[in-house]
Chains A and B, each alone.
Chain A
């Protein structure tokens, strides 16, 4: 407030810039932040402070903050008087993205570091002989561009019918391909070394994204995709299809019986199994007899070598007792061999027809729980 009394020549009275704080506040000039640690007025515990109180408090705090800022070094930028803020912040704030992983040195960089080779600064412009001007050293308007040559001089001994222009183009293509290949190798090396040192998974190639050459063939890749599809809770029934994909058999789930049945159910089940085993007639495939015969003879020859074979297999058969599953038997299974043996015996003994001999075959062979 300026004292406006024209008669008396008094000095103008200004309001003070001093601020008295109970507790020293925390000031961070970089963030223009002040944290006021003063306790609130204890008297107004249940009521919110009024806007005047808040304004007064804010004014004091701002004055304190400005006092601090005005003490900083000054700088004049384009006719504006600025205060140079400190280089680093005191009140730390979290980052928004994780720290980037350190860049792995490329093969050349490692070599250069070891040998002490420093990068030679290249000039941006180059003196072009033909036009005698300074032209950029790279790019489509570059100086000393050999692709623009309309004539190539060749020494006498060289073949005049070779395509030297074409060769230049091919050589350039070769160079670019080689360069790309080396870049890719450097990248893979960087990734591998990052993996080896257990780098953060943050900057890895995402799982579903390309860049992996793990699959040896298209078929292998397709198989893996199908396996992945099948591994859902609905066995792949609701997975979206890729265009042009060969649809595998999906959506078929195995059904499991609950662990605990009641006693009656279990008993009935087991009895049913026995009944099925005794009554059901096995299907006989005539075409397989020849192969079976061959297999039997072969097995017989083997069994003769180790005499124990037959007994052990019989034992194994007795102990099997499956839970009512009718396993389709291949021609080479040992129990199958014995079954066929019985058929053979039956055939040899001249039983009329295969159907007729089935009862004995069914009785003799097959899967009997009790033996």
Chain B
């Protein structure tokens, strides 16, 4: 058993770029010792540069980054470019790393914001040049952001078994023994049998923990230092508990109404508009508290002004399964008929309904990139759906007991709580779905699971169960490098206050919640075309239309009426021919598309009639 931070085959892959990039530069005084090598390769050893695995040729890669937006791998040139030849300065010193700084294309893709696949409507040259310029700037920005990755201080954790060793067999006690003291202290059990089972919530910085026991026990603590902030008994059933935007405010769904407490345990508000709430979700950038109730209403409460934004009737009976998509703030509700519906406060109807299971839906979770949704149902299935437009299941698996609770970690690990067992599945890195064949870790608890959440920015999974609360160690679960301006676990009081003011100033209006949060930055083609149509109607002509061809006046009798008409006709005929050619091409293309049948359709004996019917204009009943 070792604890050395070495990259392995295993699950959360480690970034090994810095090691690979580090290379011994050749100093300018070293050339004197090896005069033969000078002419060939003054910079880093030439052979390695040729292989292209560690360092792509610099000038080429940058060129591509600017031109084609990371679409191609940098081609490896056979001949040595100019910068490889020794460049001498006045002092005799040589640049040990000649050429421009390499652009890390793979990482830059992560930061790329432009979707080049979308075609924009034809625009004027001035607009086009503006767009091109903006695109070039975006690409430059993404390359720079990718370069700045080098400065990130922390590496993600990992857990790798030795040959043939199954990581799922590794016990928590083994991990605790193997890791350092500070990390080992993050594993603890709270034995709270009296008021259980517990729901839990970590604050957005991952520093604070709120616990709510079914029998009225509400506690908030700084779990890292184990300092208790408040502990009260509300003398009423607690259904769910959630921190609001900061750790100072706490929303508790109690038997009848929704209550808000501060971190001293003082009741601040009792919200009677939200009654019989079963689940709570907080949308931090919109300052909305979404509540799902037994009466079937999904209610959005704006906590910055204390107003109800909308109350949506899901018309699906009792709502007890809810998750938010952190990418676009859409609320996912699971229903007893096996569907998951997607809600936004701007729309009265669900944005989408996905039929996921044959029985009722028991749990839903969405990963941090908003790409994958995991659901589990009464049919004991665990499914992972792709949320990028198609809503198709990617993988599924039958579990002996079925998972009652699901949660995703920041790095894409999926946890499922089944009875008193917790299973964790992992994928290949951050942006890939978890593979459900083999669990990454399992753990058995002293009671039935009632709440699950990965702690943000810590390799810790909090499990609330009927026997109390367990903090599990899950190496590789959390994002290692936080952003100090968004969620800083080490922030001081002043920093928190400043952050709060800024966050309130840029509160996103609730109407902007939709499936694609980037839609606001895209060209609104529909409105544009509508406006154009209205303008043409108003003016009586199209101001942007191409003017009709007017032949130039010529001299020496070549400007006779006949000649003018002839010239005009020539141009008109050419245009007509072009138009016909274009429409023919379109028709042929359409035919080809029609011929390529959808893969699912079976060939039928009646297919032979289809073409004739269309050509002859016969009406065929479908």
A and B associate: no
A residues in contact (CB < 8 Å) with B: none
B residues in contact (CB < 8 Å) with A: none
